[in-house]
Amino acid sequence: MKSVKIGEIVLKNPIALSPMAGISSLPFRIICNGMGACYSPTELVSARSIRYNGVEKSLRYMRISPEEEGITAIQLFGTDPDDFEAAIETIMETPVLREVSIIDINMGCPVPKVVKTGAGSALMEDPDRASSIVKTCRNTLDRLGKKIPVTVKTRTGFNAGDEGKPDFAKVLADAGCDMICVHGRTRVQMYHGESSVKAIALMREAVRDYPIPFFANGDICDAASARKVIEQTGCDGIMIGRAARGNPWIFEQVTAELAGSEMPKYPDEQARKEMLLRELEGRLKYLPEDVAVREFRSVMPYYIKGIPGSSRLKVSLVSASGFEEVKEILGLV
Ligand SMILES: Cc1cc2nc3c(=O)[nH]c(=O)nc-3n(C[C@H](O)[C@H](O)[C@H](O)COP(=O)(O)O)c2cc1C
């Protein structure tokens, strides 16, 4: 694939981790980038909460480490442009966070709690507001003298009948967005049904003449599906979400496929268990042990999926309460 730039940032390849609440922890993002992802945004963080509560409450979700991650991206959600302005000002006053490479805006979240406030995927139904949010983020960063790109992650529509929203893609590009990523499902679909490459392609086409990269997302689960989505949408890059859970090796495999180099071997059982522990160790650096292990319970099964005896292991792992216990269950003591 051709080299891709987001603003002034040159990506080492155009394959990113898709942001996932509860999954996109800092250690997982570091691991994915180490395996070949060009960058891995944080999960969605409320611009309003940052505005009114400061960064403290949200820090665990938006923690970044430019040194270990390389390119970093913080994803904000909200509906009031003033919240985004205040949130960006606060981020830019905060050590480490102010070094962030990209500010991403969530315009795709389908969760009722978010949508009913007019945020996430609801913004697709309010293009003026969406445009105003992008412009506000851009202006705020410009005013602070920050050459930080503003990107948007959205969907192919809100209602069941929507089959791509080319006008919405144009609204975002006209507002000054530096990259658009589209997940090929409507809000109504949540995560069900198929991601539509056709609907993504329609949005891609709408902004082909703009000098900004377009990323596609949805249902990419291996090297073959990555190639298919790229060919059928004409996108510049892709984001991989669920298939990366407990499987950061997917980035190694997809980058090898696209570079035409030899496909790396799939990790064996030992390697997968060790990777699980590595992510948990990373989480322990900034969370108390009981919280880190509890929050990791829903993630651990992804790492052991398919290995012999995984159902039994899963039952033990989801009730584990300490690091040593997890190690013991995995037979890695
Ligand atoms: C558990 C979970 C949490 C998610 N959280 C976010 C999020 O915080 N921000 C976002 O833009 N998308 C979020 N998504 C959507 C994914 O980034 C992605 O768009 C979607 O899963 C489709 O891609 P996939 O088929 O590769 O998983 C989430 C998805 C899942 C499954």
The answer, yes or no, to whether residue 331 has pLDDT greater than 80, is: yes
The highest-level CATH class for domain 5-259 is: alpha beta
CATH code that applies to domain 269-330: 1.10.1200
The answer, yes or no, to whether residue 219 has pLDDT greater than 90, is: yes
The answer, yes or no, to whether residue 289 has pLDDT greater than 80, is: yes
Percent of the chain residues topping a pLDDT of 90 = 98
Q: Ligand 1 test: best mutation among 23, 105, 183, most atoms within 8 Å of CB? A: 183
Tell me the C-alpha distance between 35 and 29, whole Å.
10
The whole-number pLDDT of residue 182 equals 98
Ligand 1 geometric centre to CA of 314 (Å): 23
Tell me: the pLDDT tens digits for 163-217?
Answer: 999 999 999 999 999 999 999 999 999 999 999 999 999 999 999 999 999 999 9
The answer, yes or no, to whether residue 9 has pLDDT greater than 80, is: yes
Q: Ligand 1 test: best mutation among 20, 77, 191, 299, most atoms within 8 Å of CB? A: 20
The whole-number pLDDT of residue 3 equals 87
Mean pLDDT throughout 226-253? 98
Beta bridge partners of 266: none
Mean pLDDT throughout 228-233? 98
Q: Where are the domains of the chain?
A: 5-259, 269-330
The answer, yes or no, to whether residue 285 has pLDDT greater than 90, is: yes
The whole-number pLDDT of residue 292 equals 96
Give the residue among 266, 184, 263, 190 at the shortest CA–CA distance from 230.
Answer: 184
The whole-number pLDDT of residue 307 equals 93
Give the residue among 313, 280, 275, 274 at the shortest CA–CA distance from 295.
Answer: 280
Question: Whose CA is closest to atom 15 on ligand 1?
Answer: 20
Residue 109 appears among annotated catalytic residues: yes
Tell me: the pLDDT tens digits for 234-245?
Answer: 999 999 999 999
Residue 217 Cβ < 6 Å to ligand 1? yes
Amino acid at residue number 70:
G
pTM of model > 0.85: yes
The whole-number pLDDT of residue 123 equals 98
Tell me the C-alpha distance between 274 and 279, whole Å.
9
Annotated catalytic residue within 109, 137, 181, 235: 109
Tell me the C-alpha distance between 241 and 57, whole Å.
25
Mean pLDDT throughout 41-67? 97
Question: Whose CA is closest to atom 28 on ligand 1?
Answer: 20
* Nearest atom of ligand 1 to the alpha carbon of 153: 11
Ligand 1 geometric centre to CA of 19 (Å): 6
Ligand 1 geometric centre to CA of 290 (Å): 26
Local confidence band at 2 (pLDDT 50, 70, 90 cut-offs): confident
Give the residue among 278, 247, 280, 279 at the shortest CA–CA distance from 264.
Answer: 247
Query: Please, what sign has the CA dihedral across residues 223, 228, 231, 232?
Result: negative
The whole-number pLDDT of residue 73 equals 98
The whole-number pLDDT of residue 333 equals 85
121: which residues sit within 8 A by CB, 6+ positions away?
Answer: 107, 108, 109, 110, 114, 115, 154, 155, 158, 187
Q: Which two tokens stand for residue 119?
A: 């945020």
